[in-house]
A and B are shown apart, each in its own frame.
Chain A
Amino acid sequence: MLDSLKSRFAVILLAWLLVGIPLGWGIFNTLLNSMKLFH
């Protein structure tokens, strides 16, 4: 039961990481670009 819960959590985490990492990279790049407004 615990194993199945753990594997389910791992799958969900993996799926979110797959879309979260590119999004994080995109936000980071955009934030870097936005900083130019305050310089």
Chain B
Amino acid sequence: MSLLDRERSIAHAGYSRWLVPPAALAIHFCIGQVYSFSVFKLPLTHVLGVDGSLPGDWKQTQIAWIFSLAIVMLGVSAAIFGRWLEAAGPRKAMFVAAVCFGLGFYVSYLGIIQHQLWLIYFGYGVIGGMGLGLGYISPVSTLIKWFPDRPGLATGLAIMGFGGGAMIGSPLAIKLMSHFRTPSDVGVAKTFLVMGTLYFLLMMFGVFTIRVPREGWKPDNWTPPSKPRTMITTHNVDVDTAFGTKQFWFLWIVLCTNVTAGIGILEQASPMIQELFKGKIGPVAAGGFVGLLSLFNMAGRFSWSTASDFIGRKNTYYIFFVLGAILYFILPRTGADHLDSVVLFVTISVILLSTYGGGFATIPAYLRDLFGTHHVSAIHGRLLTAWSVAGVLGPVLVNYLREYELEHGVDSAGAYQTVLHVMAGILVVGFMANLLVRPVPKKYWLPEGSGDAQTSFGQPLAERSK
């Protein structure tokens, strides 16, 4: 086990920091597969019947719980194990994440061949979900320490991988299922086995490539800014202390509102474009639209977080909320009843999805600016509970509001107008929360020397006292 210890992962003199982003990407690509879980939905309802469902086959509603469970476990494990991760180091945490994620597939494989749904809930949902949470936050603080000059770029690169994971996971699963399919087997069990192995191996590349910077390291030709900036601290705040600050909870609202609004459009993307442009856009074209959204979700993660290094984190979120509120307001007016412009609808939607992704990727750097690098992964882990809440709030709001409108005689296109206007309102709440974010008061800072003092510049002065 010592190979996984933090001390064994300290970078040697010739190590390049440009090896850290691919290591982090390897983890995020794999765990991002969770977003493509829907490709298993139909095959899992045909395990017994193969060509169709038999009475004993699982229902779609039962299958849907696997994804929900995994996402809940992501938030829970990121919040619970964040502090352990900071002490254990990124390599050990990434190793545990890889084992959990791979094991999740293997246990689910057993669940499929034994036709025991609880084994899939436990495997992919609980064990795999823990791998998701640990994997998501494990490279964050390491990346920030390696890139004190460009923390937004660094975290954007990794979190972009989570957005891109579905783009790899979905075609891979489809190709594997078609390869393993026989007249008596739908092919999903063997697909789980192969994917678990492939993902475990790719994650191992990340585990053994990642390094933490040695004490006092800083990038060549880079000197920390002599004038401290108001919204970027040079001090550190402990995770438990951070949890009790107003700043943490304002950022929690910032993330929650941004994600809720984004999920609002993601959740309804395919039916919305078809109903707003009846006769023009069919299910196939709508599928293309969903693909385009996922591309911009990923691109937004990298581009917005990189931009935040130049324009500042607070300003970046101001853009998300102001631009988002305006665009959500305009979006329903692009439909066939008003402007009748598919191009405008698609353009607005992809911009909105880019800000959704950007919100995820910029938040770690925002946390680092306010709380320092010492416990940034653990604080990030606790903040991800906002994602779990938004994951429930967004779809519930969208579906119930729409149903309410339809029940009261509003046509399907008109019902979207109300939903999207509510999303604009939610973004105004996020704007207010962002407006209230102020630097963390001195009383919350860790004493000099007990954390990575000056860590926002990547110069850890001392290991945290145990």
A and B: real partners? yes
B16 located at the interface, meaning its Cβ lies under 8 Å from any Cβ of chain A in the complex: yes
Query: Once the chains bind, are B22 and A19 in contact (CB under 8 Å)?
Result: yes
Closest to A11 in B: B19
Q: Is the interface of A mostly helix, strand, loop or mixed?
A: helix
A11 to nearest B CB, angstroms?
A: 7
Which of B63-71, B103-111, B260-268, B282-290 participates in binding chain A? Answer: B282-290
Question: Which residues of chain B from 149 to 192 have a CB within 8 Å of any chain A CB?
Answer: 161, 164, 167-168, 170-171
Query: Once the chains bind, are A15 and B14 in contact (CB under 8 Å)?
Result: no
Closest to B342 in A: A37
Measured between alpha carbons, how far is A38 from B281 in the docked complex, in Å?
10
Interface string of B4-35 (1 = CB under 8 A from A): 00000000001010110011011001000000
A7 to nearest B CB, angstroms?
A: 9
Query: Once the chains bind, are A23 and B291 in contact (CB under 8 Å)?
Result: no
B397 located at the interface, meaning its Cβ lies under 8 Å from any Cβ of chain A in the complex: no
Measured between alpha carbons, how far is A35 from B290 in the docked complex, in Å?
11
Number of CB contacts from chain A to chain B under 8 A: 77
Chain B contacts for A8, CB-based, 8 A? 14, 16
Give the residue of B19, B22, B25, B292 whose beta carbon is less than 8 angstroms from that of A34.
Answer: B292
- Contact A18:B287 (CB < 8 A) given known A23-B168, A27-B295, A30-B295: no
Query: Once the chains bind, are A23 and B295 in contact (CB under 8 Å)?
Result: no
Give the residue of A12, A16, A18, A27 whose beta carbon is less than 8 angstroms from that of B167.
Answer: A27
Of B164, B167, B202, most A-chain CB atoms within 10 Å: B167
B90 to nearest A CB, angstroms?
A: 16
Query: Once the chains bind, are B22 and A18 in contact (CB under 8 Å)?
Result: yes
- Contact A15:B288 (CB < 8 A) given known A22-B29, A34-B295: no
B1 to nearest A CB, angstroms?
A: 25
Chain A contacts for B23, CB-based, 8 A? 15
Closest to A14 in B: B22
Instruction: Give the interface size class of chain A.
Output: 20 to 34
Chain A contacts for B412, CB-based, 8 A? none
Query: Once the chains bind, are A36 and B288 in contact (CB under 8 Å)?
Result: yes
Measured between alpha carbons, how far is A18 from B21 in the docked complex, in Å?
12
Query: Once the chains bind, are B295 and A15 in contact (CB under 8 Å)?
Result: no
Measured between alpha carbons, how far is A36 from B287 in the docked complex, in Å?
8
Closest to B174 in A: A29
Query: Once the chains bind, are A12 and B292 in contact (CB under 8 Å)?
Result: no
Interface string of A1-29 (1 = CB under 8 A from B): 00010001001100110110011011101
B197 located at the interface, meaning its Cβ lies under 8 Å from any Cβ of chain A in the complex: no
Chain B contacts for A29, CB-based, 8 A? 167, 170-171
Measured between alpha carbons, how far is A11 from B170 in the docked complex, in Å?
29
Measured between alpha carbons, how far is A29 from B161 in the docked complex, in Å?
16
Query: Once the chains bind, are A12 and B16 in contact (CB under 8 Å)?
Result: yes
Chain B contacts for A23, CB-based, 8 A? 25, 29, 161, 164, 167-168
B101 to nearest A CB, angstroms?
A: 16
Give the residue of A19, A30, A36 whose beta carbon is less than 8 angstroms from that of B29.
Answer: A19
Closest to A5 in B: B14
Give the residue of B29, B171, B289 whose beta carbon is less than 8 angstroms from that of A37.
Answer: B289
Chain A contacts for B288, CB-based, 8 A? 33-39
20 example contacts (A-B, Cβ-Cβ < 8 A) are as follows A8-B14, A11-B16, A18-B26, A18-B205, A19-B26, A19-B29, A22-B202, A23-B25, A23-B29, A29-B170, A30-B291, A33-B287, A33-B291, A34-B289, A34-B291, A36-B287, A36-B291, A37-B289, A37-B292, A39-B285
Residues of A within 8 A of B (CB): 4, 8, 11-12, 15-16, 18-19, 22-23, 25-27, 29-31, 33-39
List of 5 A-B pairs having minimum Cβ-Cβ separation, nearest first: A26-B167, A37-B288, A36-B288, A33-B291, A26-B168
15 other A-B residue contacts (CB within 8 Å) besides A12-B19, A26-B171, A34-B291: A8-B14, A8-B16, A15-B22, A18-B22, A18-B205, A19-B29, A19-B161, A23-B29, A23-B164, A25-B168, A30-B167, A36-B288, A37-B285, A37-B288, A37-B292
